[in-house]
């Protein structure tokens, strides 16, 4: 009989919410965020553990990266080789890690953004610090092991890291709905901070910063907002302002050159190329005329970007300009988020160190419990062997009189003698008193005869004495938190002595840069924009020589100053301001740039109705006409604003601007609709409104009809327009009243 299908009814939104939360937590805990205890993401932890399992130690030969990646993917991390190799590469890059964990051999990329060679070409092995401070106690049951993805292997839930890796190497990760961004720090300073916390668990953030004054980036540089670090380290969030290090060198002929020797941490990779392009941009847009050349002379020995200056250049102002306009000064967003107790938590520097220290006590407790258990087992066996040496003749007699091992072992452990042949009654009585333990009996039965040599017995007694001393030491450590703390601190001092590096990042309070921008020399230019929306400026002499071609080939020709701004009015009622100096100035046949690129105008979503020079409309009136025949006049001074985009007029739903021109107040206008209705009115009947007003109705429209155009008729002027395959003299239309229907032509 077939089982009936069971339908479970549930609320769709609740099911989606639960499923998404499950997915999000999986990404947060198992992929993107580091664990606060070892400071590693799962892919990093698995890669390092796999290298440890493969025996790729710091004092052993390098092994192919492909072997490491393949083994890690097959055993522990089934998420693709690119993520594993990417993690391996980053852990070997000195310019990204505060303390590299992998010793890479081959091309592992460069600070300028060059990628690493394929994994089949590169080789790797563990660094000494990784082996000694991250993996050394895995054999002492200090951490829990969990099944891997297919339950064929075991992997550590967390590595027994003895230094605060989360601070030393920092972290970057994007999870679902949250990100982590922790800067790198100096190993020696962080160890001092941990020791200070162990001595005084009530230490506050300000006191902690006497030991850990701030981040220490592998690229060096300068932290410019020292006073804000206290707030950042208290809350775990904030922005660190970092600058590159700049030196001024003397060149030939009395010239100077600016040399960048250290870059902000955020500039590593492709951002170095972007910085060079930004400097080129400063020259092209005439923000500075002091730069003659820029070259990137960086090598494996360090960063060296050289900017050659012209003679008499204002070096200090130019350095400030580089800080202001390029990534030479940048911000590092701090969000000290990590997985603590299997949930994400943002924490300051003291709570982060507290989690690390608690983990160290847990590691030490498990380590010394394991060591104590081994020493107690060793003590038991040693005592059995020592006692066996004292009664060795009896034991030999028992062994010779036994028929099998089981009988001999029973005699040694319980004094059972009935299945054993003895030479004398005395021997049997002595054998009946034996009470060796199971482990002691096994050790005796496996003992070799050479252990009966006098020197070997002395060595056994010496080992026993050492075992008793170890037991006393381990019990002392486990019985006293202060003794355990001394052990941990002693180990931390050893790590600091061997692996400490000098601080590379300077921490200071620097004033915000002030750039004295020299005003460009004002001169007359002509703005040209062709039918494709490409704009440029040329000098007036060039325009006069090419006037006929310029007027016929371009949609817009405006005489202006190079310091002026161009107003772009669009059908959506917006006005975009475009600085003339942002446009390329050059030859008549130069292509120019799309106005989309130098203003907020978007040619894909709006079309321009009118372009004019802002200086030309000050003191004048602008007439607006819309598709729904709404009219108004606006004072041109209202458009002299600082914002790059502003609302030029208010539109009702479905309406758009179809006409906009400057007027002097003496004209008449002729409105034309889609259905060929014409109405002529005087502009004096159109009220002046603010740019935020909607205007008044110019003419009545029949259902489905819209205003299509407006013609401006000046006094005594004849205006002829094409209409129905013939010409219409609109200046002959009689002047009517505003808000009437007009006549059909």
- DSSP per-residue string spanning 683-720: GGGSPB--TTS--EE-B---TT--EEEEEEE-TT---E
Exposed / middle / buried, residue 270 (Cβ in 10 Å: 0-12, 13-18, 19+): exposed
What whole-number distance in Å separates Cα of residue 199 and Cα of residue 215? 23
Q: How many domains does the chain have?
A: 4
10 Å CB burial of residue 653 (0-12, 13-18, 19+) is exposed
CATH number, position 561: 2.120.10.90
Residue 632, classed as helix, strand or coil, is strand
Closest to 707 in 3D by CA, of 673, 741, 678: 673
Query: Residue 394 sits in a domain of what CATH number?
Result: 1.10.268.10
In a domain, 654, yes or no: yes
| Last residue within a domain, chosen from 309, 327, 345 | 327
In a domain, 335, yes or no: no
Both tokens assigned to 670: 């002729």
Task: Identify which of 537, 529, 617, 641 has the alpha carbon closest to the alpha carbon of residue 580.
Answer: 537
Burial of 63 (0-12, 13-18, 19+ CB in 10 A): middle
Cα 146 from Cα 158, distance rounded (Å): 10
Q: Which residues fall within 8 angstroms of residue 213, CB to CB, at 6 or more apart? A: 189, 229, 507
Residue 534: CB atoms within 10 A of its CB come to 17
- 391 and 481 in a single domain? The answer is yes
Tokens of 221: 């540089």
Closest CA to 277 of 446, 646, 285: 285
CATH of the domain at 85: 3.90.199.10
Same domain, 542 and 485: no
The CA distance from 153 to 495, in Å, is 32
Q: Are residues 252 and 301 in the same domain?
A: yes
Dihedral of CA atoms 82, 88, 91, 95 in degrees, nearest 10, equals -60
The CATH number linked to 316 is: 3.30.1360.40
Q: Do the domain assignments include residue 378?
A: yes
CB 272 within 8 A of CB 265: no
Q: Within this chain, do residues 649 and 534 fall inside the same structural domain, yes or no?
A: yes
Instruction: Classify residue 53 as exposed, middle or buried by CB count within 10 Å of its CB (0-12, 13-18, 19+).
Output: middle
The answer to whether residues 615 and 730 belong to one domain is yes
Q: Tell me the residue length of the chain.
A: 745
Instruction: Judge residue 448's burial from the number of C-beta atoms within 10 Å of its C-beta, 0-12 exposed, 13-18 middle, 19 or more buried.
Output: exposed
- Does residue 219 lie in a domain region? no
Q: Return d(Cα 688, Cα 697) in angstroms, integer.
A: 13
Same domain for 699 and 734, yes or no, is yes
Contact 631, 696 (CB under 8 A): yes
Both 48 and 130 in one domain: the answer is: yes
Task: Judge if 138 and 268 occupy the same domain.
Answer: no
Instruction: Give the three-class secondary structure for 340.
Output: strand
Structure-token match 């075991």, residue found: 154
Catalytic residues: 121
Gap between the Cα atoms of 151 and 145, Å rounded: 12
Which stretches of the chain drop beneath a pLDDT of 50?
A: 1
Q: What is the pLDDT of residue 1?
A: 46
Does residue 168 form part of some domain? no
179 part of a folded domain: no
478 and 563 fall within a common domain: no
- Residue 423 within a domain: yes
Helix (H, G, I), strand (E, B) or coil at 434: coil
CB 59 within 8 A of CB 365: no
- Listed in order, strand segments (DSSP E) in 463-596 are 506-507, 524-530, 534-539, 554-561, 565-570, 574-579, 593-594
Quote the distance between the C-alpha of residue 594 and its chain's center: 32
- Residue ending a domain, among 122, 139, 161, is 161
- Same domain for 623 and 550? yes
In sign, the C-alpha dihedral spanning 556, 560, 566, 571 is negative
* Residues 604 and 556 placed together within one structural domain of the fold: yes
Residue 540: other Cβ atoms inside 10 A: 12
| DSSP-derived 3-state class of residue 558 | strand
Q: Are 528 and 405 within one domain?
A: no
Domain assignment present for residue 421? The answer is yes
C-beta neighbour count of 404 within 10 angstroms: 9
The whole domain housing 606 covers: 524-744
Q: Which of 161, 183, 199 is the last residue of a domain?
A: 161
């Amino acid at each position: 009989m077939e089982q009936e299908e069971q339908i479970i009814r549930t609320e769709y939104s609740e099911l989606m919410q639960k499923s998404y939360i499950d997915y999000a937590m999986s990404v947060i805990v198992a992929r993107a965020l580091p664990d606060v205890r070892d400071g590693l993401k799962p892919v990093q932890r698995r890669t390092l553990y796999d290298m440890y399992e493969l025996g790729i130690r710091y004092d052993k030969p390098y092994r192919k990266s492909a072997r490491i990646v393949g083994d890690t993917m097959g055993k522990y991390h089934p998420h693709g080789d690119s993520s594993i190799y990417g993690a391996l590469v980053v852990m070997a890059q000195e310019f990204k890690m505060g303390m590299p964990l992998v010793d890479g051999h081959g091309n592992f990329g460069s600070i300028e953004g060059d990628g690493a060679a394929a994994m089949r070409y590169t080789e790797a092995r563990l660094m000494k610090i990784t082996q000694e401070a991250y993996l050394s106690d895995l054999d002492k049951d200090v951490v829990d092991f969990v099944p891997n993805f297919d339950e064929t292997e075991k992997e550590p839930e967390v590595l027994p890291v003895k230094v605060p890796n989360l601070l030393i190497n920092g972290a970057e990760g994007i999870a679902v709905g949250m990100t982590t961004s922790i800067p790198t720090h100096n190993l020696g300073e962080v160890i001092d901070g941990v020791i200070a916390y162990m001595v005084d668990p009530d230490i506050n953030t300000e006191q902690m910063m006497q030991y850990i004054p701030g981040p220490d980036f592998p690229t060096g540089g300068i932290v410019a907002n020292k006073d804000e670090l206290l707030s950042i380290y208290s809350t775990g969030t904030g922005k660190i302002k970092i600058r590159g290090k700049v030196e001024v060198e003397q060149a030939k002929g009395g010239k100077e050159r600016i040399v960048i020797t250290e870059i902000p941490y955020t500039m590593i990779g492709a951002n170095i190329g972007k910085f060079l392009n930004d400097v080129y941009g400063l020259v092209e847009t005439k923000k500075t005329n002091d730069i003659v050349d820029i070259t990137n002379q960086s090598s494996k020995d360090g960063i060296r970007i050289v900017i050659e200056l012209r003679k008499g250049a204002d070096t200090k102002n130019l350095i400030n300009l580089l800080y202001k306009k390029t990534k030479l000064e940048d911000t590092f967003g701090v969000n000290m988020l990590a997985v603590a107790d299997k949930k994400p938590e943002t924490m300051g520097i003291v709570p982060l160190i507290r989690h690390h220290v608690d983990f160290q006590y847990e590691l030490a407790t498990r380590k010394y419990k394991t060591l104590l258990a081994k020493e107690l087992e060793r003590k038991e066996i040693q005592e059995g062997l020592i006692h066996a040496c004292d009664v060795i003749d009896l034991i030999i007699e028992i062994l010779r009189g036994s028929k099998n091992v089981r009988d001999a072992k029973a005699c040694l452990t319980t004094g059972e003698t009935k299945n054993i042949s003895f030479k004398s009654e005395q021997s049997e009585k002595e054998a009946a008193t034996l009470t060796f333990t199971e482990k002691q009996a096994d050790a005796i039965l496996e003992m070799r005869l050479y252990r009966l040599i006098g020197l070997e017995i002395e060595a056994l007694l010496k080992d026993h004495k050492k075992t008793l001393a170890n037991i006393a030491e381990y019990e002392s450590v486990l019985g006293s938190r202060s003794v355990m703390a001394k052990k941990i601190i002693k180990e931390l001092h050893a790590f600091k002595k061997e692996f400490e590096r000098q601080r590379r990042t300077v921490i200071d309070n620097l004033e915000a840069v002030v750039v004295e921008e020299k005003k460009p020399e004002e001169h007359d230019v002509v703005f040209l924009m062709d039918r494709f929306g490409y704009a440029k400026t040329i000098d007036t002499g060039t325009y006069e020589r090419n006037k006929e071609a310029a007027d016929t080939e371009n949609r817009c020709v405006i005489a202006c100053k190079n310091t002026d701004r161009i107003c772009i009015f669009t059908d959506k009622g917006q006005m975009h301001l475009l600085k003339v100096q942002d446009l390329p100035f050059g030859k008549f046949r130069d292509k120019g740039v799309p106005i989309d690129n130098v203003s907020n105008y978007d040619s894909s979503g709006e079309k321009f109705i009118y372009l004019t020079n802002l200086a030309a409309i000050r003191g004048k009136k602008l007439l607006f006409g819309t598709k729904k025949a709404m009219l108004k006049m606006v004072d041109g001074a209202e458009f002299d604003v600082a914002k790059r985009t502003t609302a030029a007029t208010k539109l009702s739903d479905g309406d758009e601007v179809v006409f906009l021109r400057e007027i002097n107040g003496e004209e008449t206008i002729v409105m034309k609709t889609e259905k060929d209705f014409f109405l002529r009115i005087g502009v004096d009947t159109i009220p002046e409104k603010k740019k935020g007003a909607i205007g008044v109705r110019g003419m009545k429209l029949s259902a489905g009809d819209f205003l299509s155009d407006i013609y401006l008729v000046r006094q005594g002027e004849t205006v002829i327009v094409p209409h129905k395959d013939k010409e219409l003299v609109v200046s002959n239309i009689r002047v009517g009243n505003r808000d009437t229907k007009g006549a059909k032509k």
